[in-house]
Amino acid sequence: MISVQNLHKSYKDNEVLKGISLTVEKGQVVAIIGPSGSGKSTFLRCLNVLEQADKGQITIDDVAVDIANLTNKKTELLRHKTAMVFQNYSLFKNKTVKENITMPLVTVQKKSQREADSIAENLLAQVGLSDKENFYPNSLSGGQQQRVGIARAVALNPYAILFDEPTSALDPELVGEVLQVIQSLALSNMTMIVVTHEMSFARQVADHVVFMAEGYIVEQGTPEEIFNNPKQERTKKFLQQLSVEKQLVVKELVI
């Protein structure tokens, strides 16, 4: 289980997270939606301490930390519980596709090169990139890079995978291939927290949807509850705005 209690984070005078509490069960897929600047990404980055929150408690599986007395050792333990998929892929640019996956396994998890290689080959086959294993990230499309990013995360065999807007930087025609990989992961019972702007994806894949705005969790529930019967005004406004924008886009296309 992942449990977050009363997480606060400020940048100077700007309070980005104003007391976030959230529970995620093992195997659950949680989608976090909300307007930009609502703190979604910051929240995700606080979970693996890429950003250090100011206070609160984070428990992931058997690692419980109180941010107030976070040590380097605890940070390391917490980070080992999760893997992350980034908006801009963030593959290691000086490593080949295969090395992107094997290097963490060898340096962090102390696996043998041979074992790491076979894990990487296996996962690359699963995401359909076996023929690219000796390519460098720079020569891949965004969608391919993101699939490598996902394979790198899965290879670590983490307790949970954190997705930070995994399709936001992609050309529209490449979004599908990445969502497909994430969906198949969801089916394999991987615990996932996905910050996303893809509402239809959140609706289809998530077990639980969290709506964040202005540093708070405004509302959470099943996709059904959030998308069809939102209770809070803020949620309704956000969803309305999205559907208006969608119509505008459609109109533009028609014209």
Reduced to 3 states (helix: H, G, I; strand: E, B; else coil), residue 65 is strand
How near is the Cβ of 90 to other proteins at its closest, in Å? 4
Residue type, 244: V
Residue 170 burial class via C-beta count within 10 angstroms: exposed 0-12, middle 13-18, buried 19 and up: buried
Rounded to an integer, what distance in angstroms lies between the CA atom of residue 23 and that of residue 10? Answer: 22
Comparing CB distances to other proteins, the nearer of 84 and 209 is 84
How near is the Cβ of 148 to other proteins at its closest, in Å? 11
Cα 95 to the chain's mean position, in Å?
Answer: 23
Comparing CB distances to other proteins, the nearer of 94 and 228 is 94
Rounded to an integer, what distance in angstroms lies between the CA atom of residue 240 and that of residue 223? Answer: 16
Beta bridge partners of 82: 160
Helix (H) / strand (E) element for 8: namely strand 2-11
Comparing CB distances to other proteins, the nearer of 81 and 208 is 81
Per the listing, tokens 């599908």 go with 176
Residues that bind other proteins (CB under 8 A): 48-50, 76, 79-80, 82-84, 86, 88, 90-96, 103-104, 107-109, 136-139, 152, 156
Comparing CB distances to other proteins, the nearer of 83 and 174 is 83
How near is the Cβ of 123 to other proteins at its closest, in Å? 14
Residue 31 in contact with residue 182, Cβ under 8 Å?
no
Question: What letter does residue 112 receive in the DSSP assignment?
Answer: -
How near is the Cβ of 251 to other proteins at its closest, in Å? 36
How near is the Cβ of 185 to other proteins at its closest, in Å? 17
Comparing CB distances to other proteins, the nearer of 78 and 213 is 78
